Structure 1
């Protein structure tokens, strides 16, 4: 709040004040009041008015400057009312009360939204667990009957259901994971076993090197990430998948590479965006565009970074970087 802005805002009041002084002067002259008395009265009125305006200006300036500073420095602007002290002038107190009431209303609205969101998430998780049971039963029946006619479609259904579950959980992932040392070799081995039938059926060559290292992560979430990457390699016609890790002093870098159809240069910057399907998703197989988006989101929440390199028609390589410290977030 500057003195220029304050004077401009008060200009109409000053004009009224000056007109009032002029009218008072006319009346005093009409009653033949001595000039010395008029001068003294005007000096007192002008001096008193100037002092009152200065006091009002600096009182308001202190409050509004603090308010503006808090607004600029806060990341969460809605906490402005909590960081501001009540002023000692009427319009400031009115503004302060408006901020507090609006903040209270917003907090109540957010609390209601969170309750509804939690209820919806709990329902989705319950539904997923319930629907996975008949799907697992159908898969077992197909296996016992020696029929693979429906197995692939049931596997796809199960994968989509799992995507729904992990997407719902990933919105509040910090409540659902535990960061600790986990073996890359064990997690990748479990993922390979889970996809063994499809790998063998499609005659895909699978190799792993340098995975005898442990990283700070959540094994369950990382297994889901591996499953998504392997599922994409299988889906997009890879006949060779190579996974290897490089261990450095400050980080471990995991490379997940396949020789599938690859990703076009135009699509590559957007593959981690929500619902992005790209050229491959439209021409080769139907895709929801959610798999890599969830992978990116989970890696971010776990403190890992993920990048992609690809040449269309040659290869796709996904790189995940794990920090040595569980609180270290690789940028």
Structure 2
């Protein structure tokens, strides 16, 4: 800070030194002026100037020292108080855009909240005719037509479901209800929803659960499983089988969902949980949104679930859910 202060005031310091030297030069050239007296004057002037510079250093740099040590934040209450008109000018230049930014952020947050609420309300409104449509499809006697209609119905249903959970994920911590969840009933509920699609492709399920219960949130675990199961059905070959297994390994529940589909290219595996990512392979699904696995990963984090994937081209893909060994929800729930 001293070096910066000197550099800022260098022209003034040079001026003071120049004036003192000028007075000595005048005394030297003018016999009427006493050189000793002038040296005394220069000495006193130099002492006073040094004291003045030291005083101004502490007074003028205190504001900037506090600015320099202040954390980078938009909290204007942590700004030091200005002590001069110039510092007041700087203070105003800093606080005015921050205050305006805070107002803009607050306004945008309100608009986003309204947009989220409107979208959630719209999704719930759409579910009513969607449910009615499902009842109409169930009464359709033409099995081929029924199968095709159910496939399209499922696509709409899952897209709406993704949108609903995408809007809720930022607030998932407030939406969790931790309980002891029975895996079998949860799995079969999701599989039954996929029944018509599975029948159309001739896909079967082999469910083998050695670990039957996990401590988690039912709704969000169901959502995660929904993404994995729909992916497995979507990319499985016709007439193949999807295997769902759970085991208990050293106190941890491990749940796997394995298909015998086309698999995932090794270069795509590290990116499949990225937002909006779809396969780069030649067989990529043009209708894929790239949101399902991204949302599943986002939902798994607050639940303490680790999702991993192993895949071989043309041999299938296995997704693994690893539940926490010592679930932190135990302490929260007091169980």
Change (3 A) 1:106 1:36: same
In structure 2, what is the Cα distance between the partners aligned to 1:195 and 1:49?
87
CA contact (8 A) 1:218 1:302 kept: yes
In structure 1, what is the Cα distance between the partners aligned to 2:65 and 2:253?
48
In structure 1, what is the Cα distance between the partners aligned to 2:196 and 2:307?
28
Deviations for 1:97-119, whole angstroms, at most 9, x for unmatched residues? 43333332222111111101001
Of 108, 128, 136, the residue aligned with 1:133 is: 128
Q: Report the more deviating stretch, 53-62 or 161-170.
A: 53-62
**When the two structures are aligned, how many residues end up with a matched partner?**
321
In structure 1, what is the Cα distance between the partners aligned to 2:208 and 2:21?
95
Who is 2:40 aligned against? 40
Who is 2:328 aligned against? 325
In structure 1, what is the Cα distance between the partners aligned to 2:261 and 2:225?
16
Who is 1:55 aligned against? 55
Question: Counterparts of 1:266-285 in structure 2 under 5 Å?
Answer: 266-279=267-280, 283-284=284-285
TM-superposed CA distance for 1:26, in Å, is 5.3
Who is 1:107 aligned against? 102
Who is 2:164 aligned against? 165
Report the secondary structure of 1:206's partner residue. Answer: strand
CA RMSD of aligned residues (A): 2.8
CA contact (8 A) 2:227 2:292 kept: yes
Gaps of 5+ in 2: none
Report the secondary structure of 2:318's partner residue. Answer: strand
TM-superposed CA distance for 1:133, in Å, is 1.7
In structure 2, what is the Cα distance between the partners aligned to 1:274 and 1:281?
20
Gaps of 5+ in 1: none
In structure 2, what is the Cα distance between the partners aligned to 1:56 and 1:249?
69
Who is 1:218 aligned against? 217
TM-superposed CA distance for 1:61, in Å, is 5.0
Change (3 A) 1:281 1:292: farther
TM-superposed CA distance for 1:311, in Å, is 1.1
TM-superposed CA distance for 1:259, in Å, is 1.9
CA contact (8 A) 2:227 2:296 kept: yes
CA contact (8 A) 2:304 2:323 kept: yes
TM-superposed CA distance for 1:280, in Å, is 5.3
Report the secondary structure of 1:16's partner residue. Answer: helix
Deviations for 1:263-286, whole angstroms, at most 9, x for unmatched residues? 000111111111111135853552
Report the secondary structure of 1:308's partner residue. Answer: strand
In structure 2, what is the Cα distance between the partners aligned to 1:171 and 1:254?
25
TM-superposed CA distance for 1:230, in Å, is 0.4
TM-superposed CA distance for 1:128, in Å, is 1.0
Q: Which has the larger radius of gyration?
A: 2
In structure 1, what is the Cα distance between the partners aligned to 2:141 and 2:270?
43
TM-superposed CA distance for 1:258, in Å, is 1.9
Who is 1:82 aligned against? 77
When the two structures are superposed, what TM-score results if normalisation uses the length of structure 1?
0.84
In structure 1, what is the Cα distance between the partners aligned to 2:304 and 2:105?
27
Report the secondary structure of 1:85's partner residue. Answer: coil
When the two structures are superposed, what TM-score results if normalisation uses the length of structure 2?
0.83
TM-superposed CA distance for 1:95, in Å, is 3.2
Q: Report the more deviating stretch, 93-102 or 44-53.
A: 93-102
Report the secondary structure of 1:306's partner residue. Answer: strand
Deviations for 1:70-124, whole angstroms, at most 9, x for unmatched residues? 32xx6xx323x33343254554444344333333222211111110100111111
In structure 2, what is the Cα distance between the partners aligned to 1:82 and 1:327?
40
Who is 1:206 aligned against? 206
Who is 2:293 aligned against? 292
CA contact (8 A) 2:63 2:83 kept: no
TM-superposed CA distance for 1:251, in Å, is 4.5
Report the secondary structure of 2:139's partner residue. Answer: helix
TM-superposed CA distance for 1:255, in Å, is 2.3
